[in-house]
Amino acid sequence: MTTTEAPATRKLAYVSAINEALAQLMRSDPNIFIAGEDVGLYGSVFGVTRGLMKEFGENRVVDTPIAESGIMGLGLGAAATGLRPVIDIMFMDFIGVCMDEVVNQIAKMKYMFGGKATLPITIHTMAGGGMAMAAQHSQSLEAWFCHVPGLKVVMPSGPYEAKGLMIAAVRDDNPVIVVNTKTLLGMQAEVPEDMYEIPLGKAHVVRPGSNFTIIATGRMVGESLKAAEELAADGLDVEVIDPRTLQPFDTETCVASVRKTHRALIAHEAVRFGGIGAEIAAQIQEEAFDFLDMPVGRVGAPFAPVPFSPVLEKQYIPDAARVVAEVRRLLGRA
């Protein structure tokens, strides 16, 4: 079954939703394989691939050396020659080690070969802080890859999205980066047992509203829903939009919302300066400037590395309280 909003019948954890998606994909297509550090015997550091080596064998769930450039090169070559690799980079920060393969090879090969090269490669990785893993294991770098033509970028906000976007990503004939959030892995939500795809490039209005729009990514979708409930006491009927796919971005849905509500704020966990929120804000002012009653607001992390100290990290990472405070500041109610 392929559907955009399939009927849900049971609750599943975010990490289990990813695992189920991978298992179902591999059963349906023998050309799909997974490669990465500790994805086999260990089941990945976060448990995403647990049990898959036992079912599919070590030729389809490949434990690799600690060599991100080599892992990504393996995926590049496999995709170019007819397979559908899922390359697991356990922390998003580590993609910095293999940026040449991702940005200069994978993203560009289709164009440099006149469209004759097909690159159905999925890069799966984990982003975000909140687990006291310090500055080299806690970044949200999705905006980097949204800037590169040839790459698609998705960012699930919950278990339903994690499964549906993973299936869509692996089935896509283009390179797709799936950015999951570590602190969401235990989150439970209704997820259908059947395979389903969430279309890439289509946003989801999570909470309809009439007089304020919040566009949030990843973990900040849940935080923005909490903020919307609190802001209801201020007389605000907040609409919350989850883009789901950051590249290509569904500008139409977001602009239509702002034309209705006349106010907008973008919330993401990544550093505020130069984050995807800046691009979304620019698109809103280009397409809906005459409808805005105030400047577009943004909530993001400070311009600093993620602290190791749990106390400092809690202050660093954006949350519902910060969204509420910024909305009230924009409205002159702070």
For the chain, list the domains and their CATH numbers.
11-190 (3.40.50.970), 204-330 (3.40.50.920)
Per the CB < 8 A criterion, the answer to whether 39 and 11 are in contact is: no
Rounded-to-5 percentages of helix, strand, coil across the chain: 40, 20, 40
pTM strictly above 0.85: yes
Catalytic residue among 137, 223, 239, 268: 137
Token pair for 96: 């910095």
Helix (H) or strand (E) holding 26: helix 14-28
Beta bridge partners of 264: 213
Residue with tokens 């602009």: 255
Q: What angle do CA 111, 117, 122 make, to 5 degrees?
A: 95
Residue 174 has φ and ψ, to the nearest 5°, of -120, 160
Per the CB < 8 A criterion, the answer to whether 242 and 216 are in contact is: yes
CA distance 308 to 325: 25
What pLDDT was estimated at residue 333? 83
In the residue annotation, 287 being an active-site residue is answered as: no
CA distance 324 to 334: 9
Going by their DSSP bridges, the two strands 264-271 and 152-154 should be labelled as unpaired
Helix (H) or strand (E) holding 221: helix 219-231
In the residue annotation, 101 being an active-site residue is answered as: no
The residue among 165, 164, 173, 170 whose CA lies nearest residue 196 is: 164
CA distance 78 to 83: 5
Q: Which ranges constitute the DSSP H helices of 68-140? A: 68-80, 99, 109-112
Token pair for 240: 């919350």
What pLDDT was estimated at residue 87? 98
What pLDDT was estimated at residue 2? 47
- pLDDT tens for the chain, 334 residues: list them: 444 555 556 999 999 999 999 999 999 999 999 999 999 999 999 999 999 999 999 999 999 999 999 999 999 999 999 999 999 999 999 999 999 999 999 999 999 999 999 999 999 999 999 999 999 999 999 999 999 999 999 999 999 999 999 999 999 999 999 999 999 999 999 999 999 999 999 999 999 999 999 999 999 999 999 999 999 999 999 999 999 999 999 999 999 999 999 999 999 999 999 999 999 999 999 999 999 999 999 999 999 999 999 999 999 999 999 999 999 999 998 6
Residue with tokens 């905006």: 143
Residue 166 has φ and ψ, to the nearest 5°, of -65, -45
Catalytic residue among 68, 101, 239, 326: 68
Residue 125 makes CB contacts below 8 A (sequence gap 6+) with: 88, 89, 90, 91, 92, 94, 95, 177, 178, 179, 180
Token pair for 161: 């999205």
Residue with tokens 């235990």: 186
CA distance 58 to 66: 17
CA distance 127 to 137: 8
